[in-house]
Structure 1
Amino acid sequence: MKSIEIKGTERAIAEHSSDQSRALKAIRKNNSIPCVLYGGGKNIHFTVTNEAVRNLIYTPHIYVINLDIDGKKVNAILKDTQFHPVKDTILHIDFYQIDESKPIIMEVPVQMEGLAEGVKAGGKLTLQMRKLKVKALYNVIPEKLVVSVTHLGLGKTVKVGELSYDNLTLLNAKDAVVCAVKLTRAARGLAASGK
């Protein structure tokens, strides 16, 4: 898995919710994002700049994040990102501190590999699930999960339950369809004419 370095500044938490929401508005007005780091025993509240997280948020890749919060360094993963419903700006980010001895849950991108039999017969290959949820130690999580589609015929699918990867547990529903070769008009025509 790739790594990325992000610097943050610890922030104090106001006791009253009205003071808290004022403080969060001020942070966002300053082109910064309020964040929380979970998993290290005590939650750490901090801020990062929009610029610092751009390459982490707007990418299909997954990263181990080398967080530097006022000189305190920890490894973490991205847990959750909240966006403004209208403006699409980032409102809040949650990170989760990695413990090398404990498995983590993370979504990993899916990549199809090979030319499906059904595509040769005129079908259309579609990826239904762009990411799969896995549970594993962070150092064995791959950058992507490769799904071979070479054997996939017309009208056939690959389901989560048919996939397995070393040292990873897939957490999605076993009957969820990852990818499929759908029948197109052209394929139906070929089948009808007996070609």
Structure 2
Amino acid sequence: MTTVLEAAKRGDRRGSRLTKIREQGHVPGVVYGKAFGNESVTVDEIALTKTLRENGKNGVFKLALEGEQTDVIVYDLQMDSIKGEILHVDFYALDMKSELDADVPVITAGDSAGVKDGGVMQQAVYELSVKALPNDIPENIEVDVSNLEVNDSVQVKDLEVDGKYTINNDPEEVIISILPPTEEPEEPGLGGETEEGTPALVDAEEGDEAKTPEEEAKEKEE
């Protein structure tokens, strides 16, 4: 069943008015698209949060505005990083027969063989740009890392695409790599040094105490 999110038009764009909208539990936003034009709206914050949870970041749903329903996706969200509240939302009105570009999250699956051997997995790309019809945009792109050994990597060209979408990123771009284990520094050897760090005197005859250079010089003077 397609999700329907109710919206209302708003005309006052002053900052004080936006603050009041948020205090009333609503989120200011805008709807735009090639055929739709541009319209400022407000939506209920709880209903918007529920819609995002049910449909995902790139999910298609219907926005109901003055009795008419339009297929949209959430193009952008502005968040309050401290309170975790939604400050503003951009809806993009869709032409369901036309492809569009969307950023899709990259997730990993499995446990890397290289990591089990002490390697470190490094993920360089967390989102990929894809082109697809609105209903064919994937929720995420999964990368199986199970068979990756140390020094292995996954590039964009290595991904399996189901044919419903294409990836816009450079085919040579590295998404994930398994780095070698960090080498432990070698402990310095004693190298003929005593515990105090001074060179051991080894020139003395067996049974005699070794003399320092100062003592030998003094004996020669005598």
TM range (shorter): 0.7 to 0.9
Aligned counterpart, 1:82? 78
Change in 2 beyond 3 A, CA 1:76/1:157: same
* Larger CA deviation: 120-129 vs 68-77: 120-129
1:5 aligns with 2:1: no
* Larger CA deviation: 116-125 vs 27-36: 116-125
Aligned counterpart, 1:193? none
Q: Number of residues paired by the alignment?
A: 181
Aligned counterpart, 1:34? 28
2:2 & 2:52 partners in 1: Cα distance?
Answer: 13
- Mapping 1:76-155, distance limit 5 Å: 76-84=72-80, 87-155=83-151
Give the secondary structure class of the aligned counterpart of 2:115.
Answer: helix
Residue 113 of structure 1 aligns to which amino acid in structure 2? A
Q: Looking at both structures, which has the greater relative contact order when contacts are Cα pairs under 8 Å and sequence separation is at least 6?
A: 1
Change in 2 beyond 3 A, CA 1:57/1:127: farther
Q: Post-superposition shift, 1:56?
A: 4.5
Give the secondary structure class of the aligned counterpart of 1:119.
Answer: helix
Q: Post-superposition shift, 1:21?
A: 2.7
CA offset digits 1:138-164 (Å, max 9, x no partner): 122222212232332202221224335
Give the secondary structure class of the aligned counterpart of 2:60.
Answer: strand
Aligned counterpart, 1:23? 17
1:73 & 1:82 partners in 2: Cα distance?
Answer: 24
Which runs of 5 or more residues in structure 2 are unaligned? 185-222
2:2 & 2:174 partners in 1: Cα distance?
Answer: 30
Residue 180 of structure 2 aligns to which amino acid in structure 1? L
Higher strand share: 1
The TM-score, its normalising length taken from structure 1, stands at: 0.76
- Mapping 1:155-174, distance limit 5 Å: 155-165=151-161, 166-174=163-171
| Structure 1: 4+ residue segments shifted above 4 A | 56-60, 85-88
Kept in 1, the 8 Å contact 2:5–2:51? The answer is: no
- Mapping 1:29-68, distance limit 5 Å: 29-39=23-33, 40-57=35-52, 61-62=56-57, 63-68=59-64
Kept in 2, the 8 Å contact 1:61–1:109? The answer is: no
Equivalent position to 2:68, from 68, 72, 89: 72
Which runs of 5 or more residues in structure 1 are unaligned? 190-195
Give the secondary structure class of the aligned counterpart of 2:64.
Answer: strand
Q: Post-superposition shift, 1:59?
A: 8.5
2:80 & 2:111 partners in 1: Cα distance?
Answer: 40
Change in 2 beyond 3 A, CA 1:116/1:46: same
Kept in 2, the 8 Å contact 1:108–1:145? The answer is: yes
